[in-house]
Amino acid sequence: MATLLRPVLRRLRGLPGLTRLAAEMPLRVPGAEMPLRARSDGAGPLYSHHIPTSPLQKALLAAGSAAMALYDPYRHDMVAVLGETTGHRTLKVLRDQMRRDPEGAQILQERPRISTSTLDLGKLQSLPEDSLGREYLRFLDVNRVSPDTRAPTRFVDDEELAYVIQRYREVHDMLHTLLGMPTSILGEIVVKWFEAVQTGLPMCILGALFGPIQLSAQSLQVLVSELIPWAVQNGRTAPCVLNLYYERRWEQSLRALREELGITAPPVHIQGLA
Amino acid sequence: MAAPKSCALWSYCGRGWSLAMRGGQLLGLRSSWPGTPLSARLLSQEKRATETHFGFETVPEEEKGGKVYQVFESVAKKYDVMNDMMSLGIHRVWKDLLLWKMRPLPGTQLLDVAGGTGDIAFRFLNYVQSHHQSKQKRQLRAQQNLSWEEIAKKYQNEEDSLGGSRVVVCDINKEMLKVGKQKALAQGYRAGESFTDSRMPIAFGIRRVIAAALQEAHRVLKPGGRFLCLEFSQVNNPLISRLYDLYSFQVIPVLGEVIAGDWKSYQYLVESIRRFPSQEEFKEMIEDAGFHKVTYESLTSGIVAIHSGFKL
């Protein structure tokens, strides 16, 4: 059967993506044991939950997840998949930025995670008002969210970059606290604009541009006239938020941290403020 | 041999198979047919600790049953949507062709194994019902001098629109059966209660499962009974095979992730399909189980095949 396929493979050689795929396809040899599942670069899974994917699969996933996220806004997993499949280049830039910063480099080395198992909730509760830790906890309570709802990274084909995007996801709640934005749709869009300017991730940019589609005219007006310019300006002036070792700054006053980053107060008071 | 009983453990090879048995210890299905047209039966099994295959991973056997169950638990709700998406609707044609080949008469009893959400079962019932109705019409037309009251009485007295046909749907997975039962009630059929039958032991290993399942199928059928299997098979055309592989491995897991949020189940699905025997091999296995006049028909260049055999 292999001899029959050779002319087909030769014709497919003109399309580089397909020949790589053709090489990965398990050839059906009758009677023999099936080979191990197709791999994108010859290596197996690089970290737990990793699913190696070919460029074609990534493209299909990106398109499909974008469409599904628009169709059903409750599919947060689709937004995550979109981020993972489109963010490779940007994640490299972010990773290099982190390496150049001393605090960022520490984060890359130590790889802290934010979840209910790694956070000492009792200690955070006991911290004074206006401290980062206490305000973060208040944000979680008021908006009834938990840091454990972040799905693990699956489609990033580099172990360090997988951590970078995981860190970005876990830091998202911190940004809500820093910016003083609730988890309503309006609040999420504002944070997305901030993240889009800060990180340049395609998923953030798409979310920032397409998120407002579902908003009412009134909210849209407030968003465009006041909130977006504020978010964009803060995003530009603030240093890279991924470089902050939040776990070491729980006691730091939130006001002081905002001053350090150059984050100003929001122009409009959004209902349900954290 | 007091192995603990547990939730149903099946080895999965495509849609058609879920029965398996320990060679030698043949305790069969109950032979009494329940009094309702559609009844769902959940079979619970014992396990044996050897290695087996889960798609292309090799896992210890105790894990496999759990994994297979999980595959279908998560798959159940989106099953019908995914079927349409993955096969671009062609799976409906395949199932229609299966019924067309079957040509059941009113009064036929159907045992739908791994029937899941009941696609085949409902097609069977619709087919039998429309046949029964047209037979009734013909009978009435044949009688020349019936008064209005007599005709009306004949229609009113009609208790069983199916002419005595019954369907029993078996599946490892409660979720799939639940969906199927909802569909039955929505379409106006009486659906019976589900219950567990804990007398069926199980063996693992795809080839052993098929052989054992075929033997059991042969035992369960009455003489004159027919065994039909609609199953994924081997593609005969090399170019189409290449395209089919490309589609299976590249597109289907993506569809699974986007639509059902489940990459791994659909990766497993496409891998397990490739382990299934070819049309000829399967035909020989059916003959080995004791069936006569075994034939097969490949559909869509061999992506699926319908095998048929008779117990004489």
CA distance B173 to chain A (A): 26
Q: Is B109 exposed, middle or buried (0-12, 13-18, 19+ CB in 10 A)?
A: middle
Model confidence pLDDT, tens digit, residues A53-78: 999 999 999 999 999 988 887 788 89
pLDDT score for B207: 59
Residues A81-85 have a mean pLDDT of 94
B37, B165 Cβ separation under 8 angstroms: yes
The alpha helices in A35-131, defined as continuous H runs, are 55-71, 76-86, 88-100, 102-110, 121-126
Asked if residues A208 and A193 have their Cβ atoms less than 8 Å apart, the reply is yes
Q: Cα–Cα distance between B74 and B289 in angstroms, integer?
A: 34
A231 and B CB contact within 8 Å: no
Let me know: does B277 contact B209? Beta carbons within 8 Å. Answer: no
CB B84 within 8 A of CB B91: yes
User: Is any Cβ of chain B less than 8 angstroms from the Cβ of A228?
Assistant: no
Helices (H), A238-272: 254-261
* From B249, B254, B257, residue closest to A38, measured CB to CB: B249
**CA angle, corner A66, sides to A236 and A180, nearest 5?**
35
- A223 and A213 Cβ atoms separated by less than 8 Å: no
Q: With a cut of 50, which residues of chain B have pLDDT below it?
A: 1-37, 39-40, 42-60, 62, 195-205
**ipTM, 2 decimals?**
0.74
**Is B245's CB within 8 Å of A26's CB?**
yes
pLDDT band for position A130 (cuts 50, 70, 90): confident
pLDDT tens per residue across span A201-234: 999 999 899 888 878 888 888 888 889 999 999 9
Quote the minimal CA–CA distance from B114 to chain A in Å.
25
Q: Helix, strand, coil proportions of chain B in percent (round to 5)?
A: 45, 20, 35
Determine the Cα–Cα distance for residues A15 and B30; give it in Å rounded to an integer: 57
DSSP state of B228: E
Distance CA(B235)–CA(A96), nearest Å, equals 49
Give the predicted TM-score (pTM) of the model. Answer: 0.69
pLDDT number for residue B297: 94
Quote the pLDDT of residue A107: 93
B263 CB within 8 Å of a chain A CB = yes
Close Cβ partners of B157 (under 8 Å, ≥ 6 residues apart): none
CB–CB contact A1 B274 (8 Å): no
∠ CA A170-A172-A176, nearest 5°, is: 140
Domain boundaries, chain B: 59-132+165-311
* Top CATH class, B59-132+165-311: alpha beta
- What's the gap between Cα A185 and its chain centre? 17
